Amino acid sequence: MSEAAPLLEVEGLSVTFPSEEGDVHAVRDVSFAVAAGEVLGVVGESGSGKSVSLMAVPRLLPTSARVTGSVRFDGTELVGADQDTLRSLRGADVAVIFQDPMSSLNPVHTVGRQIAEARRAHGKVSKDEAWADAVAALALVDIPQPETRAKQYPHEFSGGMRQRAMIAMAMVNKPRLIIADEPTTALDVTVQAQVLEVLDQVRVESGASMVLVSHDLGVVAGTADRVQVMYGGTIVETGPTEEVFDRPRMPYTVGLLSSLPAVDQLGGRLQPIPGAPPSLVALPAGCSFAPRCPLVEDACREAEPPLETVAGGEAGPAHQTRCRRWPVLADGSTTDLFARGGATGNDIEVSA
């Protein structure tokens, strides 16, 4: 990593939501950084805190959210920042692409008008200039006949085109950081391939950094320089993408990878992770993965382990894990770690 300060620096970030059952600890003490031009992938299952931790950056959270810690974008502190600071950042330096473009686009305005408005919100440009920029942005994301398409309404666009229009809107103010939250999850696989290609292209051309949040390990594998795995509201493993995928040092990551069926080979039996993710209201005292972990020891249940560096860190980004027992994974094969998890992989035994 270069000597320059990272573009985005998150330190000790926690996000808590009040609920009837008690506080929901959606994000717990999360620290990470994104360098200029870098792509960080954030993976995890539902309720892992992956989206909330990124939505805390531009502060796109419900007002009930309690945010503590520090989020610095290009040196400016955003936690506790006033609305003006946040507003001037959102949609300009920091652009967000959501999963569902239909709910982010206004159905009663043309696509071109919405992109032009986003342009005018952050730049002193005339209406004509903004419109020209909107059309150019649509062309950038490979929308055919952008002049005609700009005059159409969101419902006249197909799902893939709408997502490309969202990317166009995100790019129109030349952001330095793109936060893409499950940007292709709602799309069919052939359309997903188109959108990922467009996203890659605009990102490389603009030199923007990107945080890609996805539950799809394949999408992240092909895009991210670094990846961080989230579980129970916190980062449990992080490192260069190939390191984490090829040499996972956290049992949860191993389980996630081995529970996937492969499209390129006929697999044997799938290896599910037994049990269910923890409740974010009542987290276990120690490691949040301990109740499901095949390597668990008494010490794992006592205190949550810190992130420990397993490789790298001096010349390049470190590979870190929140597992006390990672040397076991480094020694042996990780492929059958969850194989003894029982026939159906449930914590409840099958009474045959």
For residue 232, what are the contacts with CB-CB under 8 A and spacing of at least 6? 28, 48, 49, 277, 278, 280, 283, 288, 289
- The smaller minimum CB distance to another protein, of residues 69 and 284, is found at 284
Residue in 190, 298, 314, 340 binding another protein, rule: CB under 8 A: 190
> What phi, psi does 19 have (nearest 5°)?
-145, 170
Identify the CA nearest to 226 among candidates 8, 54, 35.
Answer: 35
Residue in 177, 236, 256, 318 binding another protein, rule: CB under 8 A: 256
> What phi, psi does 158 have (nearest 5°)?
-80, 170
CB of 338 to another protein, least distance (A): 9
Residue in 29, 45, 100, 117 binding another protein, rule: CB under 8 A: 45
CB of 189 to another protein, least distance (A): 5
Q: Does 79 bind another protein (CB under 8 A)?
A: no
Q: Does 346 bind another protein (CB under 8 A)?
A: yes
> What phi, psi does 35 have (nearest 5°)?
-80, 165
- The smaller minimum CB distance to another protein, of residues 78 and 254, is found at 254
Q: Distance (Å, rounded) from C-alpha 294 to C-alpha 316? A: 31
Q: Distance (Å, rounded) from C-alpha 92 to C-alpha 143? A: 22
Cβ-contact 171, 202 below 8 angstroms: yes
Cα dihedral sign, 304-251-39-260:
negative
Q: Does 311 bind another protein (CB under 8 A)?
A: no
Q: Does 264 bind another protein (CB under 8 A)?
A: yes
266 vs 84, 160, 247, 273, CA distance in Å? 55, 31, 23, 20
- The smaller minimum CB distance to another protein, of residues 4 and 266, is found at 266
- The smaller minimum CB distance to another protein, of residues 261 and 306, is found at 261
CB of 348 to another protein, least distance (A): 5
Q: Does 107 bind another protein (CB under 8 A)?
A: no
Q: Does 17 bind another protein (CB under 8 A)?
A: no
Residue in 51, 192, 228, 334 binding another protein, rule: CB under 8 A: 192
Look up residue 102 and give its two tokens: 């239909």
CB of 28 to another protein, least distance (A): 19
Identify the CA nearest to 172 among candidates 57, 95, 73.
Answer: 95
**Of 121-129, 293-301, 326-334, 341-349: span binding another protein (CB under 8 A):** 341-349
Residue in 124, 155, 269, 340 binding another protein, rule: CB under 8 A: 269
Cα dihedral sign, 166-170-171-172:
positive
CB of 75 to another protein, least distance (A): 32
Look up residue 164 and give its two tokens: 């490309």
Q: Does 242 bind another protein (CB under 8 A)?
A: yes
**Of 13-21, 28-36, 172-180, 218-226: span binding another protein (CB under 8 A):** 218-226
Alpha helices in the chain (DSSP H): 50-55, 83-89, 101-104, 111-122, 127-140, 146-150, 159-171, 189-206, 217-223, 241-246, 251-258, 298-302, 326-331
Q: Which amino acid belongs to residue 319?
A: H
CB of 69 to another protein, least distance (A): 27
- The smaller minimum CB distance to another protein, of residues 23 and 242, is found at 242
For residue 287, what are the contacts with CB-CB under 8 A and spacing of at least 6? 293, 296, 300, 301, 304, 305, 322, 323, 324
CB of 266 to another protein, least distance (A): 6
Q: Which residue ranges make up the site for another protein (CB under 8 A)?
A: 45-46, 158-161, 188-194, 196-197, 215-219, 221-222, 241-242, 245-246, 255-257, 259-264, 266-267, 269-274, 276-277, 343-346, 348-352
